[in-house]
Structure 1
Amino acid sequence: MGKTWRWSITVLFFLLAMIISACASSEGQESSTENGQGDEQNEESAENEEGEAADAAEQEKTDESSTSEESLSFADIPDPPTDLDGLIDYPAGPFAGIAYEDQEKDIQEALAELPKLTGEPSNEEIESYWAKLLSLFAEDFPDPENVVKKWRTLSFGSPEADNPKLQFKENYNVEIILDASGSMAAYAGSKSRMAIAKESITEFASGLPEDANVGLRAYGFEGSGADSDKELSCASNELVYDIQPYEKDSLDQAMEKFQPAGWTPLADAINLAIEDLKEYDGEYNTNIIYVVSDGIETCDGDPVTAAEELADSDITPLVNVIGLDVDSEGQKQLKDIADVSDGTYTLVKNQDQLMDEFERTQNMASEWRQWKADAVSDVRQISVDRMQMIRDFRGEWADGWQREYTTFSEVFDYLESNDTISREVKTALYDLRDERIDMTTDYQDQIFDDLYELKEKQIDKAREEIEDKYNQQTDS
């Protein structure tokens, strides 16, 4: 019995040992299998992470190397000019005419909106970036044709004034067509554009001879810039000061009738000016019209066609178009108005520049008054005045390229310091700027020489005509 029991216990322990050993082996195999699968998953995960990291690094490298084509597709940017006509026709940028330090904050805010251009961008990307910067800071280079046209005012009444518009007439009339649309409320320096215009007109009118007439037409001064007010605003077009000699109180009251408000019916204003002056036939009247505006036609009219009709009318006016702190689109339209009316166009940024333009007409009026008193024009003085105009033109041209030179230097330094452009890009932009400056200075010298030669020829011709008339009189 005891022996049997001990044998049974031995067998039982043996069986348990076998079962435990088998279980341990099975668990080891399962564990080994599970560990193998884990290693494979870990390896696959590591490979995926490495691939994603490589893709990210490649993308970052691509981003750093250049700005995407989309980010450099600047809309409505004109190509940089390559010749004299292009240089003159290129619209002045919004920061033109003012030194960098006087508008530094506004410039830096504009630069902050530009995309980055770092790494190794293509030449096309750099040139596109340069075109964008030029559209912001390009100066307004005056047209030498304007100088020649303005010379005519110095020939006013002289022997070489073969243009009937410039010959002395019995009466002298000036009408100012003034933009009173909502944009004239914007400030140009410390004053609104409207305040600058009104003060300049008052000063101009007060300086005219007592027997000269002056009139003022304002347009776009009712309603607002909202679509719902378009019809009302476009219909607001009034001769607020009739064609008559200057009278301070009456003109002051006329100025109070309007403030900048709505849309811009420029074409209608030009057409109505023909009606304003229709009784002043060009045969017996010297008629001068000023168009002072800060923007384009917005009332669906065609001011260029209207200007052609004005030039062809019986009033045969001398037309002077002034863009008051106007944008590039407005500059183009106003230049076209001046061209088709055989007039002059001038961009002004402040009150002093506006008064300079009005002053030319005051000088003409003084010549007219002297003519009525039987005064004789002095050709020698005309030559001196023309030479001064040539110097002024060259000075204005030089001021423009010198301001560009300095401004672009400041802009490039600022962009690099803010990591917007790389040093390599900055160097390439400097090269493009220097090419433009070289072109500008070359044309400056060429124009100066051409204007001087033309002045001498015209003055010599005037002297010959005077001598011929004198000889005819003495022979008789």
Structure 2
Amino acid sequence: MKKIIFVLLFFSLCLAACSNEEPENELEPDDNNSVAEVEDNDDQNQIENDHQEKEEERFSIASLSIVDPSREGMINQVGGQLLEGITLEQEIEMDAKQFVSEHTDELTEYLQLVTSETQNPIDIEKAIVHFLGSPNYTEAIESALAYDPDFPEPDLPGAKVVEGEEEGEQAEKGKAILLLDASSSMLLSVDGRVKMDIAKEAVQQFADVIGQDNDISLVVYGHKGSESGADKQLSCETIEEIYPLGAYEQGSFEESLASFESKGWTPLAGAIEKATEMSQDTEGAITLYIVSDGVETCDGNPVLAAESFVKENEHRKVNIIGFNVNQDAEEQLKDVSEAGNGEYYSADDADELKETIEYEWLPSRAELAWAHTKAPGPWEILRKYEEYDEDHDKIRALVKKEDERYDQALIILRDEEMVPREVRDELRDLLSGNYTKRFDELRDLRSQKIDEINAISDEIKERVNEWKEEMSRRKDERGDAF
């Protein structure tokens, strides 16, 4: 009986063993459906693994920075993952609610991942900023910080032209012809210096001033031959324009002054006639400025020449500076300036010549009365405020759009019941508090830029006022009524 039971048990074990081996025998290498099924399962597993790795790679609360609502914090903020590639203009024009709606699934999945790892409001806020924060604060804030009001430089006599000013920028220029006496008498000395050297230095300084608003020409006479009778004809007939009428260029003008010396006779009438010939086809205001130390010695009539120069043109005039002249010369030069509808000025030494050249052609009282218009006025300053606000408002728009996106995230957290109410309330307070701090920063930034605009405006006003006071003082000293 025991033998029979043993045999039956043996056969049962054999049958069980055969049954366990059957699935291996059924999976043949040529069974394509079964192979494909296994491969599909492997691919699905790989996709899930890749997705999990991607989630882990893009999100780690421990690696996120504390939210910093300061100006520096906004500049350094790394843009949220969901806004990658969004430009400043695109974000400003964005409908935040619609944008989040289009990415609801992605945002919901992200928030589920976050809240599954933490229920700490501070960490959740960091994660929300990491996903929805603005990527464009840096561009907007740096543009606002770089704003320069760029007020026009006031045109003040004696001030140099601003470098970089384009040729032809001024609407209309006057024309000035400088006639410089280089006769032999200019070789004499005044206070230990040669008169010609003093005159050249003063003329150069004068050209620096009037060259800002006028085309300039320099005509020289008496610089050829000698004072001997044999050289009279050469000296009297040689009158040259050594700096052609045109825009003033300091270096070229200085080179022209250095190109001659005092030598011969004094063809004053011929020099004025030369200026008349040069300007016969020129309309508008033309002024002769003559620096001379003596009378006509070439048999000409400078009074008639001056009358001819201004004939039929009320905008022309002849102004003369008599440099260390005797009484006879002064009387003749006064007559010439009167015939030329101009003024005569006397300078007995180097200091007087320099002062006369520098300030005798001062702005009128009327011009000084309107000097305040050279400085920025209230409307100009207001316009600069508005220009700055165009940049500033872009930052404000970014803060608002960002906050709208955060509100949408809070709604998802509430609707999906991802966090308790108390956590959600604390998170809302954090986001709201940082929103307020960002606007505080923006108010400080705007105040800073407004102060800068006002400071620049005030500095220009101060320079204009100083110039006005100085010009008025000089006119008072000279006794000018106008």
Same fold (TM over 0.5): no
Q: Indicate the TM-score class for this superposition, using the shorter chain for normalisation.
A: 0.3 to 0.5
| Normalised TM-score (structure 2) | 0.41
Say which one has the larger Rg: 2
| Normalised TM-score (structure 1) | 0.42
